[in-house]
């Protein structure tokens, strides 16, 4: 029940909008499966800024949109999901077992980034749908993030043993009420952002191909296909607790496409004729991380298909663990998230 209610943050799979490599760090706020931020390098050497901000004149502002998107689908999703894993998703607080009462935190960096994004958007004279969605989301999202951090500190210090869960009940009410608004407002933001990022992705993929940037092109195709698979799974309303109901035949074409795309990326990696065009070398540590995690994502997907074929259910402890088990939707999601983290680091060199 819990994951279906919370799936609003993940059910619409993130569409990535990538640009080429600049020299300054990318200003992405989050680190989960969402769009990568645009790099803002020297325009005489790299025109990625103009491409990545196709719909916006201000590259920094564009990256703020991306950062908020990544925060929603990354830290916020993980924290909310983690909290409601053991605290029942209901208005009245029900104290969990002591060992199960914990919560991930939202980094101060991300909260500050959210503030900066709001200030930048709120200061615009002319606002579009994406701006208005962020403005509506901001106060609820920030209060929810702060409440989550209060729970993290409260549980980390085991303060519930001192007040018999009194503050825990107060914080639960705050989180539950905030989430009632946050679910719809965050989805509205994702929906408004997706067309913007889709347009940028199309432009960037074309540029990568036209300019011989084979590594960037194939990496993006891998991530794009992986997220198509995520979307296909969630459109079947499949999660780890009902994973054996997955219709693997329906997504087998996407599986085959993913295997082929991964192979294409590996072939490009082994033939680094693209190095001059890309602006990074084949022995770049972040590129090596991407290749390693890409292989893991393929294995995770193969294991998922095998679990369904064998009709092997997850044990209760696996469903309740903070770590995704092999052969699960959660494990595949985790590897896709790692891929995007690697790519964000690569373009933010």
Rounded Cα distance, 171 and 93, in Å: 9
pLDDT at 266: 95
pLDDT at 220: 92
Q: What is the pTM of this model?
A: 0.72
pLDDT at 146: 98
Written as six digits, the tokens of 38 are 């645009």
* Chain centroid to CA 182: 17
pLDDT at 284: 84
pLDDT at 349: 52
Residue with tokens 């719909």: 55
pLDDT block averages, 10 residues each, the chain of length 349 = 28 30 29 44 32 53 87 90 90 89 92 95 93 98 98 95 96 97 96 89 87 90 93 93 96 98 94 79 86 97 97 90 89 91 78
Residue with tokens 């390693």: 292
Rounded Cα distance, 289 and 342, in Å: 6
Judging by beta carbons within 10 Å of its beta carbon (0-12, 13-18, 19+), is residue 66 exposed, middle or buried?
A: buried
* Residue in 82, 84, 86 with CA at minimum distance from that of residue 99: 86
**Residue 220 · residue 204 · CB < 8 Å:** yes
Q: What is the DSSP string of 39-51?
A: P---TTT--HHHH
Rounded Cα distance, 240 and 243, in Å: 5
Torsion from C-alpha of 163, 164, 170, 171, nearest 10 degrees: 90
Rounded Cα distance, 262 and 270, in Å: 12
pLDDT at 228: 93
* Residue in 268, 271, 264, 259 with CA at minimum distance from that of residue 297: 259
pLDDT at 14: 30
């Amino acid at each position: 029940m819990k994951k279906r209610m919370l799936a609003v943050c993940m059910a619409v799979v993130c569409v990535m909008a990538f640009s080429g490599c600049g020299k300054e760090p990318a200003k992405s706020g989050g680190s989960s499966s969402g769009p990568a931020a645009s790099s803002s390098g020297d325009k005489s050497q790299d025109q990625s800024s103009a491409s990545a901000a196709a719909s916006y004149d201000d590259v920094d502002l564009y990256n703020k949109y991306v950062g908020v998107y990544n925060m929603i689908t990354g830290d916020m999703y993980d924290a909310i999901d983690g909290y409601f894993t053991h605290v029942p998703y209901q208005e009245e607080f029900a104290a969990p077992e002591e060992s199960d009462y914990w919560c991930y935190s939202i980094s101060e960096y991300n909260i500050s980034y959210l503030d900066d994004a709001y200030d930048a958007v709120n200061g615009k004279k002319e606002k579009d749908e994406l701006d208005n969605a962020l403005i509506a989301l901001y106060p609820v999202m920030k209060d929810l993030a702060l409440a989550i951090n209060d729970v993290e500190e409260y549980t980390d210090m085991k303060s519930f043993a001192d007040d018999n869960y009194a503050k825990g009940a107060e914080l639960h009410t705050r989180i539950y009420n905030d989430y009632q608004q946050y679910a719809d407002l965050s989805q509205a933001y994702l929906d408004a952002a997706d067309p913007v990022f889709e347009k940028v992705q199309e432009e960037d993929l074309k540029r990568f191909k036209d300019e011989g940037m084979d590594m960037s092109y194939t990496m993006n195709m891998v991530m794009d296909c992986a997220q198509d698979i995520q979307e296909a799974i969630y459109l079947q309303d499949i999660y780890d607790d009902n994973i054996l109901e997955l219709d693997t035949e329906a997504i087998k074409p996407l599986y085959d496409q993913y295997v082929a795309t991964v192979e294409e990326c590996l072939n490009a990696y082994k033939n680094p004729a693209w190095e001059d065009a890309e602006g990074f070398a084949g022995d770049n540590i972040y590129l090596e991380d991407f290749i390693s995690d890409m292989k893991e994502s393929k294995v995770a997907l193969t294991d998922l298909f095998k679990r369904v074929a064998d009709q092997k259910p997850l044990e209760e402890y696996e469903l309740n663990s903070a770590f995704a088990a092999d052969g699960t939707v959660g494990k595949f999601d985790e590897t896709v998230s790692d891929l995007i983290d690697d790519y964000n680091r690569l373009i933010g060199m």
